[in-house]
Structure 1
Amino acid sequence: MDRNFNGLSNRFKNQIYGTLKGQMRLALLEKDLSPYIEQTHALNILDCGAGQGQFSSMLAQHGHSLVLNDVSDEMLAMAQANLAELAPDNQTHQMITAPLQSLNEELHTRALPTQYDLVLNHAVLEWLHEPFAAIEQLALWVKSDGILSLMFYNLHAIVWRNLMNGSWQRAQNTHFHHDKNNLMPQNPLNPADVVEKIESLGFSIELHRGIRCVHDHMFVEMRKRKTLEEFVELESDIGLKAPYRDLGRYVHIVARKI
Structure 2
Amino acid sequence: MWINGIPQTALSTRDRAVQFGDGCFTTAAVINGHIVMLDAHLQRLKEGCARLLMDAPDLAQLAAEMHHAAAQQTQAVLKVILTPGAGGRGYSRAGCQTPTRIISLSPWPQHYATLQQQGAVLHTSPIRLGRNPLLAGVKHLNRLEQVLIRQHLDQTGGDEALVLDTNGTVVECCAANLFWRKGNIVFTPRLEQAGVDGIMRRYLMAQMAANGQTCQLIDGSRDDVLNADEVVMCNALMPVLPVRQIDDVSFTARSLYQQLRASCPTMEAS
How would you bin the TM-score normalised by the shorter chain?
under 0.3
Structure (1 or 2) with the greater strand fraction? 2
TM-score, structure 1 as length reference: 0.24
Structure (1 or 2) with the greater helix fraction? 1
